[in-house]
Amino acid sequence: MLRFISFGSGSSGNCYYLYTDNDGLLIDVGIGVRLLKKSFHNYGVPQNVHHILITHDHADHVKSVGSFSRDFKLPVYATSKVHRGIEQNCCVRCKILPEYKKEIEPNVPLVLGDFKIMPFHVPHDSQDCVGYQVESEGIVFVLMTDVGHVTDEMKNLIGSANYLVLEANHDDEMLRNGPYPEHLKSRIKSKIGHLSNRECGVALAENATPNLKHVWLCHLSEENNHPELARKTIEQVLRGYGIIAGADFKLDVLKRKVPSEIQELI
């Protein structure tokens, strides 16, 4: 059976775990290695991680990738630009050893153990950014985080998903009236910044198919969003399209620092 856990989601650290009975992969390692090891232990889940996939080179996604990869002798898959970005990122103190660096390219599929993976381009202001469509045991799981805007390709991928992790970073009004300096507000709102609750809702409403079973909202801002507000806004947008969250598909918000329950993807 395919299962999913979020170990952390947001600017203080992102890390997602997708695993079968025999194989597992991590997407991003932006939380501390000690916390990650503790989470594996607490959950009693098999530490059968064999692959690490990276979305992009911002610290909240890669802080511990070098040390985790060394400790467990794991290959790290990222685009060449993201690998270069990690190399240059001073927040990543322990770098990835050359023998563990594996290069991927958007739209070039790869098979890793139990997983068929398609990386795809996501517009964001890092060196490069990708999302992942992962197929295993006939289930399609799609993850899109740090999304400046939703491209046509991404819309199709939302349409392909049985299970979807999608960014709902900020509430427009909270961002506008919030404490951030103007340049940071414009960065977040830009086409290569982050996705708002409303944009997330529209992307879901316009592209979800009856095959979609469960959506997890990720990367919520601590200052410019609130879990209940994100959910309410998105439910409202969906209702405008005749879609009822909770009935047509499940909708949950991933916590920033508290790991999720083990989610069974069936």
Binds Zn ion by CB under 5 A, chosen from 50, 58, 170, 256: 58
Q: How far apart are CA 108 and CA 132, in angstroms?
A: 11
Question: Cβ of residue 219: shortest distance to Zn ion, in angstroms?
Answer: 6
User: What is the greatest pairwise CA distance in the chain?
Assistant: 51
Question: Cβ of residue 45: shortest distance to Zn ion, in angstroms?
Answer: 24
Binds Zn ion by CB under 5 A, chosen from 60, 114, 128, 171: 60
Question: Cβ of residue 147: shortest distance to Zn ion, in angstroms?
Answer: 9
Alpha helices (H) in 73-211, listed in sequence order: 80-88, 152-160, 172-177, 182-189, 197-207
Closest-CA residue to 76 (of 90, 58, 64)? 64
The answer to whether 51 contacts Zn ion (rule: CB under 5 A) is no
Q: Which of positions 205-264 make contact with Zn ion (CB under 5 A)? A: none
Q: Which is nearer to Zn ion, 51 or 63 (CB)?
A: 63
Q: How far apart are CA 172 and CA 168, in angstroms?
A: 11
The answer to whether 57 contacts Zn ion (rule: CB under 5 A) is no
Considering CB under 5 A, how many residues would be counted as binding Zn ion? 3
Q: Which is nearer to Zn ion, 139 or 144 (CB)?
A: 144
**Token output for 70:** 């060394």
Q: How far apart are CA 93 and CA 77, in angstroms?
A: 19
Beta-carbon contacts of residue 186 (< 8 Å; ≥ 6 apart)? none
Question: Cβ of residue 228: shortest distance to Zn ion, in angstroms?
Answer: 22
Q: How far apart are CA 240 and CA 114, in angstroms?
A: 39
Question: Cβ of residue 104: shortest distance to Zn ion, in angstroms?
Answer: 18
Binds Zn ion by CB under 5 A, chosen from 28, 146, 167, 171: 146
Q: Which is nearer to Zn ion, 181 or 210 (CB)?
A: 181
For the beta carbon of residue 161, count every other beta carbon within 10 angstroms: 25
| Residues near Zn ion (CB under 5 A) | 58, 60, 146
